[in-house]
């Protein structure tokens, strides 16, 4: 039931992620980037959005080598669930836990808007509880959200529907690893968990984390 | 002590929005002959040890460059 939320210098969305975990019925515990271990009993890990280490070198590059990531790797190797959102997706790609890399948006600009996503791989633990082909309304807010990778070998779990995908290969919005237990997502499901924000479509992903 | 210069560039064929933005700005300033712009990084290191080039390449592989989207070049300048 306990979901660890990583926090690096420059993380922004750790509080929103913790609120989303609570809204899904779980307990969130914050893990500092320099912590050597995840809390005992951690069932799932969320790496939130933001600009870890000021996005220096490449977004996610420094954070992916932070000490707390060593135990995230061990957790992932055991088959534990990991969700990286936005900068967290960049961290997971840089860490080699997900295929591909995130490039600057083809629009040359920061993009902040509501998007529609389609679940294209419902076999992963993250998406299994969602209706097949489900469409989710979830916002994006990023500068480097264009996934670059080989869609022939990667599992693209969520795709953008009917709008510019920022230059993302195969309109990929979310990618899972081979086992499906590690999910990287550019859109922000934690900002779609309260009716006041116009959508609660993000809750299903956090319910999956809490059910782990 | 060796002075090492590492150049990291976006791979050919990978979209370089930064280069495109610079190209657009140059065109607006009247530089009409610019056919392509690519923007990369230059990293300067001072290194101890017997194999500065090998050490620098290892740094590129592990952190300084992302081999999926970037190429790097290592030069020992002194």
pLDDT in tens, chain A (212 residues): 699 999 999 999 999 999 999 999 999 999 999 999 999 999 999 999 999 999 999 999 999 999 999 999 999 999 999 999 999 999 999 999 999 999 999 888 899 999 999 999 989 999 998 887 899 999 999 999 999 999 899 999 999 998 767 889 999 999 999 999 999 999 999 999 999 999 999 999 999 999 98
Residue A148 CA, chain-centre distance (Å), reads 16
Cβ pairs A/B, distance under 8 A? 30
Instruction: Kindly name the residue from A14, A93, A94, A190 that is annotated as catalytic.
Output: A190
Predicted pLDDT at A164: 67
Q: Does B14 touch chain A (CB under 8 A)?
A: yes
Predicted pLDDT at A116: 96
**CA pair distance A102, A63, nearest whole angstrom:** 14
pLDDT at B13 over 90: no
Nearest residue of chain B to residue A168 (CA atoms): B15
Per-domain residue ranges of chain A? 2-211
Q: Do strands A172-176 and A101-103 pair parallel, antiparallel, or not at all (unpaired)?
A: unpaired
Predicted pLDDT at A50: 97
**CA pair distance A117, A2, nearest whole angstrom:** 27
Structural domain B2-76, CATH architecture? 2-Layer Sandwich (3.30)
Nearest residue of chain B to residue A102 (CA atoms): B69
Closest CA relative to residue A20, chosen from A145, A189, A143, A198: A189
Whole-model pTM: value is: 0.94
**CA pair distance A46, A84, nearest whole angstrom:** 6
Closest CA relative to residue A5, chosen from A55, A15, A91, A35: A15
Instruction: Determine whether the interchain pair B69/A94 forms a contact, defined as Cβ–Cβ distance below 8 Å.
Output: no
What DSSP letter does each residue of A87-103 carry, written as one string? HHHHHHHHTTSSSSEEE
ipTM of the complex model: 0.85
**CA pair distance A160, A173, nearest whole angstrom:** 6
Q: Does A149 touch chain B (CB under 8 A)?
A: yes
Predicted pLDDT at A1: 61
Instruction: Kindly name the residue from A86, A94, A191, A193 that is annotated as catalytic.
Output: A86
Nearest by CB to B20, which of A58, A103, A108? A108
**CA pair distance A109, A92, nearest whole angstrom:** 23
Chain B residues touching residue A65 (CB < 8 angstroms): 63
CATH topology classification for A2-211:
Rossmann fold (3.40.50)
Instruction: Kindly name the residue from A14, A33, A75, A188 that is annotated as catalytic.
Output: A188
**CA pair distance A187, A141, nearest whole angstrom:** 7
Q: Please give the span between the terminal C-alpha atoms of chain A, in angstroms, as a whole number.
A: 7
Listed in sequence order, the residues at least 6 apart from B77 whose beta carbon sits closer than 8 Å to its beta carbon are B3, B4, B5
- The predicted model gives B53-69 an average pLDDT of 96
Is residue A163 part of the annotated active site? The answer reads no
Predicted pLDDT at B18: 87
Is residue A188 part of the annotated active site? The answer reads yes
């Amino acid at each position: 039931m306990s979901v660890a939320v990583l926090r690096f210098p420059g993380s922004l969305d750790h509080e929103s992620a913790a609120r989303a975990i609570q809204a899904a019925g779980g307990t969130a515990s914050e893990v500092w980037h320099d912590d050597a271990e995840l809390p005992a009993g951690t069932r799932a890990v969320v790496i939130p959005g933001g600009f870890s280490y000021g996005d220096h070198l490449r977004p996610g590059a420094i954070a992916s080598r932070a000490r707390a990531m060593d135990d995230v790797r061990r957790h992932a190797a055991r088959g534990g669930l990991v969700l990286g959102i936005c900068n967290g997706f960049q961290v997971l790609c840089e860490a080699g836990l997900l295929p591909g890399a995130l490039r600057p948006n083809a629009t040359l600009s920061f993009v902040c808007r509501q998007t529609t996503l389609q679940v294209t791989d419902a076999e992963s633990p993250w998406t299994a509880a969602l209706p097949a082909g489900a469409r989710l309304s979830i916002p994006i807010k990023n500068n480097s959200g264009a996934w670059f990778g080989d869609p022939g070998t990667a599992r693209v779990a969520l795709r953008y529907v009917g709008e510019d995908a920022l230059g993302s290969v195969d309109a990929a919005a979310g990618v899972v690893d081979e086992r499906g237990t590690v999910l990287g997502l550019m859109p922000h499901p934690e900002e779609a968990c309260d009716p006041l924000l116009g959508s609660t479509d993000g809750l299903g992903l956090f319910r999956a984390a809490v059910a782990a | 002590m060796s002075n090492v210069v590492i150049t990291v560039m976006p791979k050919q064929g990978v979209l370089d929005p930064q280069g495109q933005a610079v190209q657009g700005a140059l065109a607006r300033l009247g530089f009409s002959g610019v056919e392509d712009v690519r923007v990369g990084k230059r990293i300067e290191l001072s290194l101890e040890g017997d194999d500065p080039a090998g050490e620098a390449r290892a740094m590129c592989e592990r952190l300084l460059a992302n081999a999926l989207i970037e190429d790097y070049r290592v030069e020992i300048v002194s």
